[in-house]
Amino acid sequence: MPFMTTGQLNTILTFYEISDPPIPSPLSSILIPILRQAITTLVRSNRAQIIGAADGGGDFCYHQSTQPPFLTEQPNQTHLTEQWIRLILTYTRRRRLFVIRVEDAEVPGGNWDEILRNKRINRQVLPSYLSLLMARMVAKNVVVYEPPKHIRAVMLYWCLPEEWADVLHSWATVTGQLNTILTFYEISDPPIPSPLSGIPVPLLQRAITTLTHFDRSHIIGVVDSEGVKFFAATYSTVNRALG
């Protein structure tokens, strides 16, 4: 299988990435209906999963290894850790998940079951192993413990706070909300879904802090909460952003 020869076991791929790879393959230009049938065959033999996007905008194929070592801690961990970090960050982006907890490996039925459990070989990631992976991701600055100094949950940076800052300011500009006071709740739970829907307040605060540094936002106290006002980017703020 091409999945095996290209080293993409335990990797989430879009159908487009399979049918139009950067390096030509036997699957290049395969029609999506035919590709879906082929993946369905793999699903029936427990060699793949089809994962729906969080927004319903497309499906993804996850070709999961049937080897138990992938789900357990190994003496030579470096390569396996890199695989897990890529898998977790890709999965959380596809599913728009912001937090993973040790409890996700303890209690079945959660958002992370698709990658933390493999029913066909009756194996799962143990809480101690997930805790280790979380610590490695913290060391790589792709997650942070949340709350700080509590090591049983991390907030995932599938987009960095600086990237969220750009998304946030663009959203405020496009929706005509510059120079308007908005509560954090109004941003994270808007009446019309946006790229910021569901963003955790701590991550939102980090993004706003980045904008504040460049004079593009200002945090304002409001009743029982905090609010923020966004400002248009000026020539001076653009120069500061460019260094």
- Domains (range + CATH), the chain: 1-64 (1.10.10.10), 68-158 (1.10.10.570), 161-241 (1.10.10.10)
Per-residue pLDDT band at 123 (split at 50, 70, 90):
confident
Put simply, whether the predicted model's pTM sits higher than 0.75 gets the answer no
pLDDT of 37 reads 81
Residue 72 has pLDDT above 80, yes or no: no
pLDDT tens figures, 181-207: 999 999 999 988 999 999 999 999 999
pLDDT of 108 reads 87
Residue whose tokens read 């590709």: 35
Better-predicted residue by pLDDT, 229 or 28? 229
pLDDT of 221 reads 78
Instruction: Kindly report whether the peptide bond that precedes residue 202 is cis, defined as omega within 30 degrees of 0.
Output: no
Cα gap 238→233, rounded to integer Å: 7
pLDDT tens figures, 205-225: 999 999 999 999 999 876 667
Better-predicted residue by pLDDT, 44 or 132? 132
Instruction: Please give the angle made by the CA atoms of 11, 12 and 16, to the nearest 5 degrees.
Output: 125
Cα gap 205→211, rounded to integer Å: 10
Tell me if 189 sits within 8 A of 196, measured CB to CB. Answer: no
